Structure 1
Amino acid sequence: MNLLIEIRPDIPIVLCGNKVDARDRQVTAREITFRRRNNMHYYEISAKSNYNLEKPFLYFARRLLGEPNLHFVESPAPLPPQVHIDTAAHDKNEAELAVAVSQALPDDDDDDEENAAFE
């Protein structure tokens, strides 16, 4: 991925955190640092419940077409009735993400170690 970013930094890249509805899901500060350092957009999604499922695709469509006000005409598929997203767990994850995003990025010396884990 580093080579892609070096060669074509204008290519939009999205990192998706799936299973937002799972109780034991964890996103670490290190993972958030990686995506921030590489200018990736990040979306919390759930394929099971269709939560935010359209957002990465809408981001790509807007970037590739150069239309920042583009929106999808059709709504996504309705939520299945058996899916329940624990709002307390979701709010806790969002708070942890906000704390990680607000932290300063580490020095460039740590780049090789962090990026090696994601290659």
Structure 2
Amino acid sequence: MTNEELNIQLPKLKLKIPYDEDIFGNTTNWENCLKDLLDDSKFIALEVLFPYEDWECYVLPKKYYNWQLRCCIEKYNLADKQGLTNYSENSLSWSKLTDGLSNDLMSKLTSKVGVPK
């Protein structure tokens, strides 16, 4: 992430995923975890938005900053459920995409029209 992106998004994410010593151990681990979540969510978004382009050097458009935070929260909440695609208990069930993100969240991203290279 660029410094500008990090300066905007990290403080917001800190409010949504507060520090918990029992989970993170120390604030350095907490900040590193949040930075990793921001990076992962950025690359997921760019991969979907620009499927036919080399997006590695792109900056995430600001209109997707809210989406990025929501993605970070979903990924954080799914950390202990990796690989689980279906779950059912007491007549309640849910399914998720293979990467763990909800269909609702992923439907907010619309791919740019392009030509496969």
* TM-score where L is the length of structure 1: 0.25
Q: Which is richer in helix?
A: 2
